[in-house]
Chains A and B, each alone.
Chain A
Amino acid sequence: MADNGIGTSHQANTALIQASNLECKNLYDYLRTRPSTLLDRLYNHPAICLAVYRELPEIARQYVIRILFVEQPVPQAVVASWCHQSYSKEHTHVCQVLSDLFVWHEAPIPGGLPGWILNSTFKRNLKTALLGGGKPWSMSSALEADNKARDVSFLDGYSAERWECVLHYMVGSQQQEGISADAVRILLHAGLMKRDEDDGSPVITRQGFQFLLLDRQAQVWHFLLQYLDTVEQRGLDLGECLTFLFQLSFSTLGKDYSTEGMSQGLLIFLQHLREFGLVYQRKRKAGRFYPTRLALNITCSQNKGVPVLEEDAPKGYIIVETNYRVYAYTDSNLQVALLGLFTELLYRFPNVVVGIITRESVRQALRGGITSEQIIGYLKQHIHSQMLSGDNKNALPPTVLDQIKLWELERNRLIYSEGVLYSQFLSQADFNALKQYAQQTGCLIWSNKEKRTMVVNKTGHDDRKKLEIEECVKIYPNIYNRNLPNEIWCDDADHEHCIEAFQRFCPRHFIIDMMFVKSTTWPVCQF
């Protein structure tokens, strides 16, 4: 097959093949990708140790508590024996998690057996967090009473308003006040919005749509992670900000805290949090701030059933009928805009919107990158309390839910994966060897032994070229690669011999691209 044409359409194809979805990292995923030095610094703060500990898998928490007071390495075999044999997979997983987070590290015990020992900083500070003691957290609450104290409902209203401002901006509804250039930059950086190609104004992306349908807590966490990515460019200290954020997440709602003793960087950070409604400050220089609900427990990953403290959370407003009609009792432009993502709106009244879910409207949403799960999740999350009354467990009509799922499946009847087809192997042994290699590297997508045909993904294909060179070098002592990884040389006067070697190990496809430089006696082969 000719190679030309692939390059040009490649861009479009990748877009079609890998529809990148919004990636929701939890605390573990986030910290795992940080350098160990940063983690070590973070572990100097009991608040972070506690937060990390709370987010560990259950078995990992068990292990940590068991060895928290052990001052020497514990044999790995002993740790493994705490977990039933049938859960060995989980055991390996949590060991990996603990190592990834540098909560513990390997240490030999006398006698040479491998053992685990907790990171000493982590150990010390987790003890402090659990048992008390240590320095007071920098967020002091020693303040005389605020003569204009704010109560919880005020804070809730405030934070909701601030946060909705950001969301409003994303859906592009005009009526709200704008958000700062800083916040826009974060949205752009997060890939939730992108600059329009024509006029440069930010427009929402598919990730952005998915973001909008997340629940509030997940939104805040995702947004903050993206914010933290940019924190260092602003000249703030990532460690300091993270520490503060975790302390904030353990603070009490409706209580005021002093800004005294906070560094200049933290004060800037506080102003940013204030803009998004994570903290409330009456004035920039008020000297005190109130954490809001958004800031509390931010680290709790979305899948963990967070104890619902949102009794006064916004009431559901959506009614879905079996005839695909949707009634939304709301006057918020944001909610209407969100609903409009996947329904066809028919009528708009002061306090209610009527729409209809159609194949076209759902497909529109699917094309925009929203999944059926997200649509259904959103409907469930905002369902009207009237629909929940009675003993009806499935408040949403199952017909509608199923149909939405079917509409999605209909689009996914074909699954594409870019790859490279290998066929016409000369011997079964060659085929087996390559297949085994592909399996080990995890790049085999399809194979058939009888036909001696296999498909591997692209990265695997490139890796295989390297393997080929290595093999070649191994078997023919006169051949070696030098300088460039994709180049092999033959230190042999016998050209025929070299070319045979090259051909044996480099399939026809590459032979075409090969360049034989017959300088003096050395042929060279380039891929």
Chain B
Amino acid sequence: MVNVMKGILVKCDPAMKQFLLHLDETLKLGRKFIIQDLDDSHLFISSDILESLQTKIDDLMDQISFPMNEKDK
């Protein structure tokens, strides 16, 4: 019997995929959200998590960047 599931396909680089897997395993978003791990650069996730996931990723990006320029010079 064919199994059919709705969700969102995420295409990303392997590094980001590992980050997502980490979020999934440690329940950082409150629950598991990855429906299926497809391959190195594709994941299938549940669609209602999208918003909180994006906030989380924005947070990560904020953490790994530093101000490039100083205003008061």
B54:A403 contact, CB within 8 angstroms? no
A13:B47 contact, CB within 8 angstroms? yes
| Residue in B3, B12, B51 whose CB lies within 8 Å of A12 | B51
Q: A17: CB under 8 A from chain B?
A: yes
Q: Mark A354-387, 1 if CB is under 8 A from B, else 0.
A: 0011110000000000000000000000000000
B interface, over-half SS: mixed
- Complex Cα gap A522–B24 (Å): 48
- Complex Cα gap A3–B46 (Å): 10
Interface residue total, chain B, C-beta cutoff 8 A: 33
Q: Mark B4-48, 1 if CB is under 8 A from A, else 0.
A: 111111111100100000000000000000011011001010111
Residues of B within 8 A of A250 (CB): none
- The contact size tier of chain A is 35 or more
B10:A416 contact, CB within 8 angstroms? yes
Q: A16: CB under 8 A from chain B?
A: yes
Candidate in A324, A325, A423, A461 with the most chain B CB atoms within 10 angstroms: A423
Known: A3-B6, A421-B44. A413 touches B13 (CB 8 A): yes
Q: A426: CB under 8 A from chain B?
A: yes
- Complex Cα gap A420–B2 (Å): 12
How near does chain B come to A421, taking the closest CB pair, in angstroms? 5
Residues of A within 8 A of B48 (CB): 5-6, 8-9, 13
Known: A358-B68, A359-B65. A507 touches B50 (CB 8 A): no
Nearest B-chain residue to A455, judged by Cβ: B9
| 9 residue pairs A–B, Cβ–Cβ below 8 Å | A359-B67, A359-B68, A413-B12, A418-B9, A419-B9, A422-B4, A424-B1, A426-B1, A508-B4
Residues of B within 8 A of A510 (CB): 4
| Residue in B5, B16, B50, B65 whose CB lies within 8 Å of A421 | B5
Residues of A within 8 A of B4 (CB): 420-422, 461, 507-510
Contacts A16-B50, A507-B1 aside, 20 further interface pairs with beta carbons under 8 A come to A1-B7, A1-B35, A9-B47, A13-B47, A324-B68, A415-B11, A415-B12, A416-B50, A417-B8, A419-B8, A419-B44, A421-B4, A421-B5, A422-B3, A423-B3, A448-B38, A448-B39, A451-B38, A455-B9, A503-B1
- Complex Cα gap A41–B10 (Å): 48
- Complex Cα gap A426–B69 (Å): 59
Residues of A within 8 A of B1 (CB): 424, 426, 503, 507-508
Residues of B within 8 A of A451 (CB): 38
